[in-house]
């Protein structure tokens, strides 16, 4: 990447894209480059035409190519300005790294921590990792988890690795397995839910609904344990990866997830709160795939958090 930057911080800089950076969306490239700049402001720069590619306007979803010349306007918090934070405040996050090698890092994300900053959240997992490990300049999120979801969160340490893993996601070749608790007794013959989903903004929140003109979405549900008519422990596999997909598909089936404040049952959640549940019961239990052009298989699993295991025991004792 060639960086032709003016001496003054009050004028635009121009970046020429090389093969290592090519292929990613413009918005993702800018968010990585302009660390510390609010997400909403980055989108505003693109939509207003202050960011240009080869002297022309493009959409945030534009995929940058080798040789593209990108104009980045002067921004108060440039790429050289790190997200504010003390490394000592996030050292505990390193203890939740369950696997790492030269290509990837996998974190057992705790519930309540966003994967990235934005929408009122100053620091998420990716920013915290960059604070704790400032030498990890190229580390990026491979996929996302809802803030209240715990479990397997994968990061790529090189741009080439990120492209390869994103290709697997597009081809539905990455197996992500979840554990969740749904209200009621899940029907024995309901294994596949395939409602199309559409996303819209509801204030500062993203909200998803079943819609005929939405994006095709498929979720596979497997009952693992039933607790009378009260609840069912489910294993879940995603065939597609839409925002809030598991939560919306479960609610559409009439069995919303435990602790889901957005799509769930207030009555069910209130009963579980009395048993000590203070989060959504959704855990990314494992992630696996085969490396492209290789016989090598990657697979990591993380156990159900202690607080969710305790809840299951309490429910089992009552039923």
CB 215 within 8 A of CB 197: yes
Whole-number Å distance between alpha carbons of 313 and 319: 10
Question: What does residue 276 show for φ and ψ, rounded to 5 degrees?
Answer: 105, 5
Catalytic residue positions, numbered = 146
CB 142 within 8 A of CB 166: yes
Instruction: Dump strand ranges (E) for the chain.
Output: 2-5, 13-16, 52-53, 69-72, 97-100, 104-109, 140-141, 150-156, 175-183, 192-193, 197-202, 205-210, 219-227, 231-238, 282-290, 297-301
Instruction: Dump strand ranges (E) for 28-157.
Output: 52-53, 69-72, 97-100, 104-109, 140-141, 150-156
The token pair at 15 is 């970046």
């Amino acid at each position: 990447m060639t960086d032709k930057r003016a001496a003054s911080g009050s004028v635009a800089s121009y970046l020429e894209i090389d093969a290592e950076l090519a292929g990613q969306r413009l918005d993702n490239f800018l968010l990585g480059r302009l660390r510390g700049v609010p997400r909403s402001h980055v989108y505003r720069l693109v939509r207003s035409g202050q960011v240009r590619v080869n002297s022309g306007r493009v959409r945030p979803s534009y995929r940058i190519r080798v040789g593209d010349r990108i104009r980045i306007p002067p921004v108060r918090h440039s790429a050289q300005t790190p997200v504010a934070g003390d490394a000592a405040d996030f050292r505990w996050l390193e203890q939740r790294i369950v696997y790492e090698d030269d290509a990837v890092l996998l974190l057992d994300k705790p519930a309540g921590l966003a994967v990235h900053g934005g929408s009122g959240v100053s620091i998420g997992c990716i920013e915290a990792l960059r604070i704790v490990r400032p030498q990890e300049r190229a580390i990026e999120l491979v996929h996302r988890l809802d803030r209240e979801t715990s479990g397997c969160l994968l990061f790529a340490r090189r741009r080439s690795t990120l492209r390869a893993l994103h290709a697997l996601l597009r081809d539905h070749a990455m197996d992500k397995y979840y554990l969740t608790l749904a209200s009621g007794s899940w029907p024995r013959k309901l294994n596949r839910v395939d409602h199309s989903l559409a996303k819209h903004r509801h204030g500062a929140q993203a909200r998803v609904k079943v819609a005929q003109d939405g994006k095709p979405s498929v979720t596979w549900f497997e009952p693992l344990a039933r607790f009378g008519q009260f609840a069912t422990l489910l294993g879940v596999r995603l065939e597609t990866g839409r925002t809030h997909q598991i939560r919306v598909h479960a609610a559409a089936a009439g069995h919303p997830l435990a602790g889901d404040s957005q799509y769930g049952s207030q009555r069910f959640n209130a009963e579980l709160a009395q048993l000590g549940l203070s989060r959504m019961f959704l855990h990314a239990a494992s992630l696996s795939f085969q490396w492209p052009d290789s016989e090598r298989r990657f697979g990591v699993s993380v156990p159900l958090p202690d607080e969710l295991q305790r809840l299951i025991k309490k429910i089992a004792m009552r039923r």
